[in-house]
Structure 1
Amino acid sequence: MNLSTISQTFSVNYDYKLYFTNGLFNPENSLFINILKNYQKGGLVKMIFVVDQQVIATNEYLLDNIKKYGKKHQAHINIKDIIPVIGGEASKNDKSNVERIWNSINKKSICRHSFVVVIGGGAVIDMAGYAAATAHRGVRLIRIPTTVLAQNDAAVGVKNSINAFEKKNFLGTFALPYAIINDLDFLNTLEKRDWIAGIAEALKVALIKDEDFFKSIEKNAERLANREIKAMAPLIHKCAEIHMRHISEGGDPFENGSSRPLDFGHWAAHKLEQITNYELRHGEAVAMGIALDLTYAELIGLIDKNDLERILQVFKTVGFNLIMPISTIDEVDNLLRGIEEFREHLGGELTITLISAIGIKCDVHEVDRDKMREAITLRSLKS
């Protein structure tokens, strides 16, 4: 007997906003409470905060200000817990951080209509987002990124993850935040490395999507290197705008296909982070990965030498070290294994994003290993 097939198709509309402000938890700043009032459907909104310990250390009054803000608006919000967590990639390497958030969600009766509010760099936001997305099949999330890289890239997308099996982002979800809030005041307390590192993601999207944006970064490279917030603020805004537009207009926000153009330079970057035991910042590794792929693109005749040198000079002027910490044949072989790991991460078909000119991306599905070895030699200590 043949049974009939039941088929169904449906669409879900997603909506989330990215806000810009200064002094988010200043008592006179109404942005945070207004976001929650717009959501609130009667009664208190319960929430827990997850806060990067490095952010706490460099922002002396942050926790007190959060508590005072909650007290001022206690008719509308109920802060049930504040959880400090280790910052950086270590937060994603230790699953106990996720378990601490799960335990708090459970013990503090945080439901699907409550909030996890995460304050920190991209790694902490990834980790806390994963915890929120997997509790009750999804607790509401508000991201408050505190680094350049997180404000212009990492916190803007729809992905959450932790590391496992010595692989970056092995466990993760696609789950949209309820809101993202970029408080530019947090950038004033960044280490120089973190200020510079985030510019790599802006250069990445400019190179693959927007030549005029690249020219703007090129023009302001020295100002960015000198930590001028008036140069950085529009860079973050433009980069985030391009990123969000890509998610909505690309037709594949949850990456069901094999093309991931926003991962330009990332196959090598992820492996370099692992090889250095995450001593490299993600943005530093991305800069090296982009430089490597650009060098490979020039070797195979995809871009010309002048474009290569022009792009590399912008990275150097901003302050990036583009020499990869690779000095032995074994280390070269280990780095090359990142290509196959990236293929696996994509789901089987390899797609590496390169460019044929500034602002014009070009996807390739095969890599000439001899040429890539030559590019590694040119871009590493091995040279």
Structure 2
Amino acid sequence: MARTLEQSFQVRFHYAVEFTSHLFDTSNAVFATTVGQQRSACKVLVVMDDGLVAHHPELPLAVTEYCQVHRLNLVAPVMILPGGEAVKQDPVNVTLVQDAINMYGIDRHSFVVVVGGGALIDLVGYAAATAHRGVRLIRVPTTVLSQNDSAVGVKNSVNAYGKKNWLGTFAPPFAVLNDLHLIETLENRDWLGGLSEAVKVALLKDEEFFAFLEAHADALRTRNLQSMEHAIYRCAQLHLDHIATSGDAFEQGSSRPLDFGHWAAHKLEALTGYTLRHGEAVAMGIALDSTYAHLQGWLPENDWQRILTLFERLGLAAFHPLMLQSLDDASDPHSLLHGLQEFREHLGGQLTIMLLDSIGRGREVHEMDLDLVARSVQILATRSPYSSSGPNPSAQSPEEPAWTTTAIPAP
């Protein structure tokens, strides 16, 4: 006789995304308030990005002094780890964070605080989520891309088996604290690259925001802080709204709209040995999928041109020479087209790719015409000044155009 017990329950998550400046100035109460009232009883372990420390060498000491003034129980000197995608490549770095969590007795009522770019936040979040089945994580993102996209979500990960984010968890942070001051020292590649995620979410959800990015493209490219502040805030707001209202925050289904352009982006990052940064690769992935949607007859000519022109004005290239590699063989792991198979494997279930019907309105498809993808790559190649022997598109100067804007025949 068969017997069955079934259970169903819901867990409600809540976390704040704060926007401030000079977070660790002792006169700024945001961090202390986030930790809460029982400050001396809560242990705090801080992990910081070495690239950030190189530009802000005073920051580790500022954190120490802040904790002393606000009576926060900082259990150890600030732990400094490498930033950038390389940190997610070496499993030793996960062990280092977990060793510190163990050594200093960080429990579920204590805090791990990570201060840095999206890659380090991913890694420390993964370590924190797997210690004691999850300890409290406070994210302090310090790049445009992490402030407007990756750090405000619920995912943590490291790379494995030659694939991006192969190991990971869904674990919402305790809080996200965006410090506008810390993005001021970003190099141009990180300042501009993060804007690709703003373009992405605007294309999917908010034509008015896309128009803002168009109107302020020159200001954003020339590092106008006020324009960037609004771009980060609105992008983060749209991402949070999607997480809260999509009904699939932990991606149990086959649809991941916010991964628009990412199937190609993740593959490009791997093909370049992660010398191409995530935001740069996302811009190329969006340009590719937008071109594909136009060739399919879905995305109007004018909208397609607006997308490519915006990337050009923002100084983000739409093409990398490795996109042309093995375009006739999707089974070749070194082919961009192989990224579709890897994307399907990473997601599981039915292949689901987000494309565009217009700016502000997407459509999902469950198969891609590989010949048309290849043609889309070739179109972007002809529009780009970069050949297989030419310069790296990610290293272009602000004055150097990413392509010339020309029309292609409608299908």
Q: Specify the TM-score bucket, using the shorter chain as the normaliser.
A: over 0.9
Which residue identity does 2:283 align to in structure 1?
Answer: A
Residue 52 (structure 1) aligned with residue 49 (structure 2) = yes
Paired with 1:69 and 1:82, the residues of 2 have a C-alpha distance of 12
State how 1:210-289 maps to structure 2 within 5 Å.
210-289=206-285
The offset of 1:4, in angstroms, is 2.3
Query: In the TM superposition, what whole-angstrom CA distance separates every residue of 1:131-152 from its partner, at most 9, and x where no partner exists?
Result: 0000010010000000000000
Given candidates 174, 181, 201, the residue that maps to 1:178 is: 174
Deviation, 1:329, is 4.3
Q: Give the distance between the partners of 1:95 and 1:292, measured in 2 at CA.
A: 32
Quote the Cα distance in structure 2 between the aligned partners of 1:323 and 1:105.
42
Give the residue type in structure 2 aligned to 1:12: V
Identity %: 50
Match of 2:369 in 1: 368
2 CA distance for matches of 1:69 and 1:43? Answer: 13
- Cα distance between partner residues in 2 of 1:270 and 1:102: 27
Corresponding residue SS for 2:254 = coil
Q: 1:325: how far off? A: 2.3
**Once the 2 structures are TM-superposed, how far is the Cα of residue 343 of structure 1 from its aligned partner?**
0.7
* Cα deviation, residue 330, structure 1: 2.3
Counterpart in the other structure of 2:114: 118
Distance in 2 (alpha carbons) for counterparts of 1:115 and 1:33: 12
Letter in 2 for 1:165: Y
- Offset from partner CA, 1:236-258 (integer Å, 9 cap, x none): 00000000010000000000000
Match of 1:344 in 2: 345
Q: 106, 114, 129: which one pairs with 1:133? A: 129
Aligned to 2:358: 357
Q: Between 109-118 and 155-164, report the one with greater CA deviation.
A: 109-118
One-letter amino acid of the structure 2 residue matched with residue 24 of structure 1:
L
TM-score (normalised: structure 1) = 0.96
Runs of 5+ unmatched residues, structure 2: 330-334, 389-411
Q: Deviations over 1:175-234 (max 9, x none)?
A: 000000000000111001100000000000000111011001111000000100010001
Q: Quick one: distance in 1 between partners of 2:255 and 2:346?
A: 11
Determine the C-alpha separation between the residues in 1 that align with 2:93 and 2:57: 23
* Runs of at least 4 residues off by over 4 Å: none
Deviation of the 1:77 alpha carbon: 2.6
- Counting matched residue pairs gives 379
Q: Is the 8 A contact 1:150 1:198 kept in 2?
A: yes
Note the C-alpha offset of 1:113: 1.1
Give the Cα–Cα distance (whole angstroms) in 1 for the partners of residues 324 and 32 of structure 2. 55
Q: Within 2, Cα distance between the matches of 1:78 and 1:317?
A: 45
* Structure 1: tracts of 5 or more residues without a match: none
Instruction: Quote the Cα distance in structure 2 between the aligned partners of 1:371 and 1:178.
Output: 44
After TM superposition, the structure 1 stretch with the greater mean CA deviation from structure 2, 155-164 or 324-333, is 324-333
What does 1:1-383 align with in structure 2 at a 5 Å threshold? Answer: 2-38=1-37, 40=38, 43-74=40-71, 76-326=72-322, 328-330=324-326, 333=329, 334-380=335-381
- Structure 1 vs Structure 2 CA RMSD: 1.4
